[in-house]
Amino acid sequence: MKTIGIIPKKNRPEALKLTEEICSWCRNKGISVYLENDLPVSADSAKRVNQATLITTAEIVIVLGGDGTLLSVARIPGSEKVLLVPVNLGGLGFLTEIRIEEIYILLEQVIAGNFTVDNRMMLDVVLFRNGKPHEEHRILNDVVFNKGAMARIIDLETSVNGLYLNTFKSDGLIICTPTGSTAYSLSAGGPIIYPSLKCISITPICPHTLTNRPIILPEDSVIQVRLKAEHEDVFITMDGQLGIRMQEGDYAEVRKSGCTMSLVKSPFCDYFEVLKEKLKWGER
């Protein structure tokens, strides 16, 4: 391995400091480091490039921050073709399972080719307006259909592979990957899904009918969600970071993406350890 890219959370001083330290470590190892042009760190040996060049040039990209930082990197075109090393700098961190104290040991193993990759399923979301594609996005966690703070219950007509499923009368609807099952879906009562499984889950948010429960669908499902009535404040939110206002008659199609996200796994903990740590299982 000859090239490493680093994308830190820019408003976290500890992330910027760690970036400088990793740059020094890489210089001593003879490894080229790529950083974004506007990153405020002192690293004379690093090559400054734009984000697109960093993603397409580096053999691995170290992401320093939390789950939100990783999700933003996952939306960068080309990120599905590079190995990502997600390092958790605090917070919940279901996706960024690698701890700061593990980073250099892990990098040594990566250089030696002794590491495991976790390939995570992604979803493609297309919003249709007037019957034509209006916007298209790729997501790692979830797509959420939700109402604004003052809006009334919304009606979301939902079908799977052309077959009518239900019109959810609720505060919203969450469609997620197994990776996203520990995000918003979990807080809304959705199931925890082991990340290597290939499936899609639908979880209603505060449904008006209490018998509306979460459902898990096969990976090849094509889910269509249509806004049935006029509402002033209804949004589609992708990975909690990108929002689109819906109009009456709009509908979205959600399906498995042809891309996957490749994450380097921590050799020091497994998925169940992450769950027990983050969810405080076993504690009283």
| Confidence category of residue 92, pLDDT binned at 50, 70, 90 | low
Report residue 72's pLDDT band, with 50, 70 and 90 as the boundaries: very high
Say how many Å lie between the first and final Cα of the chain, rounded.
46
Give mean pLDDT, residues 256-264. Answer: 95
Q: How far, in Å, CA of 125 to CA of 136, rounded? A: 6
171 a catalytic residue = no
Mean pLDDT of 30-46: 92
pLDDT at 271: 87
Tens digits of residue pLDDT in 142-200: 999 998 766 678 899 999 999 999 999 999 999 999 999 999 999 999 999 999 999 99
Q: Nearest-CA neighbor of 18 among 34, 36, 2, 6?
A: 6
Q: Which residue has the higher pLDDT, 90 or 168?
A: 168
Mean pLDDT (the chain) is 92
Question: Residues 222-250: what's their mean pLDDT?
Answer: 88
pLDDT at 149: 67
Neighbouring residues of 145: CB distance < 8 A, sequence distance ≥ 6: 154, 156, 172, 173, 174, 225, 227, 234, 235, 236, 246, 252
**Dist CA 264 CA 62 (whole Å):** 10
- The pLDDT value recorded for residue 232 is 64
Q: What is the mean pLDDT of residues 210-218?
A: 93
Structural domains in the chain? 3-116+265-279 (3.40.50.10330), 122-258 (2.60.200.30)
Report the pLDDT averaged over residues 245-269. Answer: 92
Residue of 38, 44, 67, 124 with catalytic role: 67
What CA–CA distances, in Å, run from 269 to 26, 83, 274, 282? 25, 19, 7, 17
Backbone angles phi, psi at 51, to 5 degrees: -60, -40
Among candidate residues 134, 125, 124, the one with its CA nearest the CA of residue 247? 134
- Confidence band (pLDDT; 50, 70, 90) for 278? confident
User: For residue range 107-123, what is the model confidence (pLDDT) as tens digits?
Assistant: 999 989 999 999 999 99
Q: Rounded to two decimals, what is the model's pTM?
A: 0.92
